[in-house]
Amino acid sequence: MSKRVLTTESGAPVADNQNSASAGIGGPLLLQDQHLLEKLARFNRERIPERVVHARGSGAYGYFEVTDDVTGFTHADFLSSVGRRTQLFLRFSTVADSLGGADAVRDPRGFAVKFYTEQGNYDLVGNNTPVFFIKDPIKFPDFIHSQKRDPFTGRQEPDNVWDFWAHSPEATHQVTWLMGDRGIPASYRHMNGYGSHTYQWTNAEGEAFFVKYHFKTNQGVRSLSSDQAAELAGKNPNSHQTDLLQAIERGVNPSWTLHVQIMPAADAAEYRFNPFDLTKVWPHLDYPLQRVGRLVLDRNPDNVFAEVEQAAFSPNNFVPGIGPSPDKMLQGRLFAYADAHRYRLGVNHTLLAVNAPKATTAQNYGRDGLMASNSQGRGAKNYEPNSYDGPTETGRALSAPLSVTGYTGTHEAPQHTKDDDFYQAGELYRLMSSEERSRLVANIAGGLSQVSRDDVIEKNLAHFHAADPEYGRRVEEAVHALRED
């Protein structure tokens, strides 16, 4: 069988891929060596800007299968019948570290799902925790700056991390999650995923419901201790990537069962705390989990850069029957995620294979920009409305309208009768076994004791005292013991 011919990017055959053209033997290289210049220029541009957050990721393809009837709550087509399957891509990630970081670190994990539905792509962009550190997106850049590498020292600084949390009491719940046993998953397969935000479902009759998504791992939850993680990160920084890749390659396809909590829209106004607050969970006694279906991963990407690094998830990619809620953090992400992809990948990132719709065809009037393809056809119009049979609007909203009232301004979130930054953190602490509490206290004290300012330490200790007296006392004693050593 004849070998395939190596070519330049323009398709011309390459005569010599081992030696650069020079002015005589041993002479200087020639500017006319197009193959050399093309290779070096492309190599210089092989990397795009990494994500500011969620930079280090892994992903796989699979499907979602509906197992339970939820048509009373949403008219989303891909959830319309038991047994229906929808292809998907799922990207896991760490949040704070860079692309070159290790997998086995104490950090929240991204859990982003792109459903390739027949009504367009639906992106559900969540984490492996049901809550987050802040409740307003205007604080997000400051939060991330406090957690990333310090611009002077070039490393993550405990002073920065804990100083931000000291001034953000709403972070106490998520800090308790992060510093607890589930703060370092043993693998991506052995952790739950959550939509985290509150979303809206609308049924065929126009009734609106607020929902929270819970993906429960069918492999069982497994986590690493701080010591186990430190050893694993040193031996195999790619531990989670390797585990996911090898499991799927040998046919051990990981799966998750999707459940939702469903709140009738009318309940939201009078609920005892703000149901759109990302720092809080809805107690299951109030809104029990209802099973929806099963998510299975069964195929690895062929090219990690093209399919994992260039995968672009945007929470504003909804489909009919699903929409946003007044969750402030979600509202901010509706803009920020799509804008990040336009910066990193260009305005035509939705044309990349991993991001393009697969069960339908995108039809719109977007044109030109970097990496534009001439896919619109000769004579196709680039405006709407037109008289040339171009795509037209449906007049049907994707979801029910949200009621608004009051005056514009920079308002704090509305106060409900039981709104509190500490109660749920205390509830989580009291759910833990004595061994889990001890590990939680040790993890918090290990970081907080490194802070240089006593006032920052005291502010953080006050948060743990407010969550639970025992919680606060034990953290305080542990921090003081470490600082006296």
| Residues annotated as part of the active site | 54, 127
Contact present, 255 and 294 (Cβ < 8 Å): yes
Within 8 A by CB and 6+ apart from 411, the residues are none
| Measured torsion, CA atoms of residues 260, 264, 270, 274, in degrees rounded to the nearest 10 | 30
Helices 469-484, 423-431: crossing angle, 10 deg rounding: 80
- Rounded Cα distance between 315 and 199, Å, is 10
Structure tokens at 350: 């939705």
The DSSP letter of residue 211 is E
Q: Give the helix ranges, DSSP H, for 449-485.
A: 454-467, 469-484
Q: Is 358 exposed, middle or buried (0-12, 13-18, 19+ CB in 10 A)?
A: middle
- Rounded Cα distance between 397 and 416, Å, is 30
- The closest alpha carbon to 139, from 328, 327, 326, 281, belongs to 328
DSSP SS3 for 106? coil
Q: Is 49 exposed, middle or buried (0-12, 13-18, 19+ CB in 10 A)?
A: exposed
- Rounded Cα distance between 134 and 236, Å, is 32
Contact present, 256 and 218 (Cβ < 8 Å): yes
- Rounded Cα distance between 317 and 40, Å, is 38
Q: Give the helix ranges, DSSP H, for 27-150.
A: 34-44, 140-147
DSSP SS3 for 322? strand
Please name the helix (run of DSSP H) or strand (run of DSSP E) that holds residue 201, with its range, or none: strand 199-202
